[in-house]
Amino acid sequence: MTGKIFPTAQDAENAFYEALERCDLEGMMAVWAEDEEIVCVHPAGARISGQEQVRESWAKIFAGGPRARVRTEQQVAIGGMMLAVHSVFETFTLPGKPEAQPAAAVATNVYLRTAAGWRMIVHHASPAPGQSEPAPRDAPPKTLH
């Protein structure tokens, strides 16, 4: 069991994104529940479950060391006494590389209140759909037959 206690689901979420930016494997795993039913889906990745697979996936991601900044926005949080679900937009940028396009993802994070505080049980991230150009206002209406 880790020594970190997250008094709220938001505290656990903050620790998750801080560990992600620092490529801190131990900090990342401190956020996760110590349970074999945990589930993680990285953008365009397969579903993985259990402590060992989740740890291995983050170790691979972190192998190159810190390189991206992540900003979360438009959080929708649904909470109860024992379970919290957060949906966020994640934007990843590379510091010092202004020519690099930001990468966007949509993530759902699920937290469970345990005896050791709030812990993540699900992280599911998918590439965010591209922003489509709005139709010109003076375009003639489309007629479907």
pLDDT for the residue numbered 2? 56
Answering whether pTM is above 0.85, one says no
- Residues 93-117 pLDDT 10s: 877 666 767 788 899 999 999 998 9
Residues of the chain with pLDDT > 70, as a percent, come to 83
DSSP 2-29: -S--BSSHHHHHHHHHHHHHHT-HHHHH
User: CATH for 9-127?
Assistant: 3.10.450.50
